[in-house]
Structures are given as C-alpha cells and as structure tokens.
Amino acid sequence: MVKVAFKTIGCKTNSHDTGTMIKACIEAGFDIAKYHESADAYVVNTCAVTSSAEAEARNLIRRLIKTNPKAFVVVCGCSSEVFPEQYRSINGVDCVVGVRSERALISCLKKKFFQDKKGIKSKLHGKEIQFMAQDRARAYLKIQDGCNSACSYCIITKARGSNISFPQKVILNELDSIVESGCREVVLTGIHIGKYGEDLGKKNSLTSLVSVILKRQNNIRIRLSSLNPDEINQEIIELFMYPLVCKHLHISLQSGSCDMLRVMGRGSNLELYLKNLNIIKQKIPSLALGADIIVGHPGENETLFNQTVDVIKTVPFSYLHVFPYSKRPGTKSANMPKQVNDRIKKERVNYLREISKDKLYDFYKSQIGKKLDVIIVSKKADENGFIKGVSDNYLNLRLKNTGVQYREIYSCVAGDVVNKEGHIAMDARYLMKGIL
C-alpha cells in the first residue's frame, strides 16, 4: 500500500486541514505514515503568516527531498496558495496546491501512484477514518474559514478568502464522530471564529453554535480558539460560565496603542476592550487570559510601544504570544513608511516575552491548591513516571502514573509549580474521574 506522511506548519486551522487531508487519503486507499517514517509521498502544509514560517517550510522541504530523493513531494497550505512559485522552483517538489486542497491532493497522488486505476478501496469505515484523523486527546473542529477584515499587515485573507461559516449540521456530524472516536475535548477553530454565522443568517452565531453543541453532547468540553477583543460581549462572557466551556480566552489584541490599532486597520476602542477583559477576569478569576501582540509594525515608535507595555502590565493577562512584525508582500503595511529596524524589533519582542514569562509564572502560582479539570494528553508516563495533562484553564500539569487514562478528564488539585529550563508545569494529584 502507498504510504503518505504529513507535516504541518502553522495554526490550529492548518492542523485541522491536515486531518481532513489524512481522512481523504485513507478513503482513497492510501496508508498514513508518521512524518519521521519512510513514506512514498510527503505532504507539507505551509503557513504564510510570517516570512520566518515560509523560510521554515522551504528549509524543511529541501531537507526532506535530500533525505528522501525518491519520494513524491506535495506542498499545500496558505503560503503555497499565495506564493506557489517559491515552491515550484524547488528542485524535487512534484506538486503544489493551495488551501482546502484535499481533492487536488488526491488527484495528484492518484495520478502518480494509481495512474488510470481506481486505486485501492479502503476497508476502514467512517468512525475509524475520523479516529485516525483526530488521533489526539484534544481534537480540532473547524467551524469557519476565511476573514472579511482588512488588517494592514495580514496576508491570510489573500490565502483563504472571505468568511465562510460551515452549516451547523456539518459541524455537528463531525463533532459526533470526534466524540465516538474517544476525544473528550474539542477546540473550535477557524481563521475568525468570532464572525461565525454572519453569512448564514441572524439566528447563527458563535454563542448559538456552542449552545447547540452543549445540548447535543454532554461528554466533551469545548475550548475556543482566538477571538478579537471587540467580540468580547455579554453573551461571550456568559458562555464561559458553562462548566463544559474551558476557562481559557485568547484574544488577538496586537497592540496596546489606539494609534497603532488604527494604522493596523483594527478597531481602536481600546478602553472598551480592556473594560470587558477586566469584567470577564473578575467574574472568572481562574480564567487563563492570553493575547497575541505584534511588535515593530511600521510607525511603532518608542512612545507607542510603551503604551502597549503599559496595557500589558495593567491587564491581568496570563500569558502573551509575541511576534515581530513580518513584511508580507501585497499587504498595506509592506509599503508603509517608518519601517522598524530588525534590531529594535528583536529587543522589544524579548522585553515583552520576559514580561509574559513573569505573568505566566504568577498565574501558575495563583492556581496552587485549586481544583482543576484536567484532560490526560499523554499515552504513557515519561522517564520520571509522570503523565501529562492540560487543565481547562490551559495549565500544563503532570500527574504520577496512578491509573489515569489517556483522553479521560479528572478532577485534580494543583500542587507545586515546576519550572525547568523555561518550561513551566504543575504537579497535581487527582481526586476523581469526571468534571467537577
């Protein structure tokens, strides 16, 4: 049987897309290998968010071809959608497709390996196919794709197009398959999930979708991927009060300066954003509150950067994802004056990441002695006899291997904070199986 291996670079949406391609390959009669294993074909799912992500993809592809010169190599994803020629020009790349490319991928693979034959019919049924695509404790469920925003720095709209919300029926069918496969946590993902339902009619929204999911399945917890700060309204705040909705909110803030937000083409009502973030944190103190920050966007001088620093220090964030601005060809920001020096960007990124480390450590310490719902994410214990778990408020925990089972959720008590080489975790002991 022809073996196909996959490598994903980028976000949770890319990971879900890879799962969809894996499922399509199985249904078409191909076998799935792990990326580090020997395979007949390799598929690299690329990211276009930053130039460094694209450089990572190109380097990975060249190493892959050097190591497996006889393999059939396919490149897909956001970067290949927008800049296909940079991959077609790599000697050894056999096929370049774009996003949502499962059909194009199967066409390439069948043309190479099956020629005019129909291929080998898979003996697997739907449940088993879904399990292989979602063989993890925490499954990704894509509820929408694309984005209607016009942020000055972002190229993803060129790669994925405008907002497309998937019908509830499609989402619920996939949800059922995920639950039947054994997963106990699903991460609702997409490019802009806060806009879910805007293209489907008035009765459709992210909150209404989550309500329907909770009524349909009471044996799985729901985690939201990132939202924009202007989407944190009373309905969203109330959503986090449900026991099965993970107490974890990640927002795409990008800057703490109203002036910078306007330049970026994002909403600039920063006072309202911060007010709503403080409200939800006050109502749910255990909530993990994270934020994306872009440093060094054109026009960001020291004064504007310090405004971001002041906001970060003031708001009770649990952690930050800090990125240096990356010039993307074809975006408004690429041609803006006052481009920031790379050295300055690096200094500012490092400064904010140090603040983030302190905030994360403080958040972990604040949870000592608290009862947490923890999903087991490792299949076996490490060399020290610990099993890894993730709490609903996004803490990494380790439990002594005392009979806990992979993918199950346990009520635990958080213990000491473990900080080794910059990787923070917590010891924990479990009280009982199930959510409190």
Instruction: Tell me the pLDDT tens digit for each residue of 278-297.
Output: 999 999 999 999 999 999 99
Look at phi and psi of residue 416 and say left if phi exceeds 0, alpha if psi is from -120 to 50, else beta: beta
Task: Give SS3 for 166.
Answer: coil
CA angle 426, 427, 433 (to 5 degrees): 110
Tokens of 91: 């000697």
Give the whole-angstrom CA distance, residue 69 versus residue 71.
6
E strand residue ranges, 330-422: 371-376, 386-391, 396-400, 409-420
Q: Which CATH class is domain 371-433?
A: mainly beta
pTM of the model: 0.89
Q: Which of 48, 56, 53 lies closest to 78 in space, CA to CA?
A: 48
What's the distance, Cα to Cα, between the start and end of the chain in Å?
46
Instruction: Check if the beta carbon of residue 290 is closer than 8 Å to that of residue 320.
Output: yes
Q: Which of 97, 107, 31, 42 lies closest to 69 in space, CA to CA?
A: 42
Give the whole-angstrom CA distance, residue 274 versus residue 277.
5
Pick the CATH number of 3-126 from 3.30.470.20, 3.40.50.12160, 3.10.20.30, 2.40.110.10: 3.40.50.12160
- If you ran DSSP here, which 8-state letter would residue 227 be given? B
Give the whole-angstrom CA distance, residue 134 versus residue 7.
15
Q: Do domains 3-126 and 133-365 have the same CATH topology?
A: no
Instruction: Check if the beta carbon of residue 95 is closer than 8 Å to that of residue 74.
Output: yes
Strand partners of residue 222: 186, 245
Residue 243 contacts by C-beta under 8 Å, 6 or more apart in sequence?
435, 436
CA dihedral (174, 177, 183, 185) positive or negative: positive
Neighbours of 284 (CB within 10 A): 16
pLDDT for residue 124: 37
Residues of the chain with pLDDT under 50: 116-133, 436
Place of tokens 């460094």: 52
Give the whole-angstrom CA distance, residue 194 versus residue 207.
9
The domain limits of the chain are: 3-126, 133-365, 371-433
Query: At residue 361, what are phi and psi to the nearest 5 degrees?
Result: -65, -40
Task: Give SS3 for 238.
Answer: helix
Residue 329 contacts by C-beta under 8 Å, 6 or more apart in sequence?
83, 155
Residue 7 contacts by C-beta under 8 Å, 6 or more apart in sequence?
35, 42, 43, 44, 45, 60, 64
Q: Which CATH class is domain 133-365?
A: alpha beta
| Distances, alpha carbon 180 to alpha carbons 126, 213, 220, 426, in Å | 10, 15, 11, 30
pLDDT for residue 428: 75
| Distances, alpha carbon 409 to alpha carbons 300, 329, 390, in Å | 44, 45, 9
CA dihedral (30, 31, 35, 41) positive or negative: negative
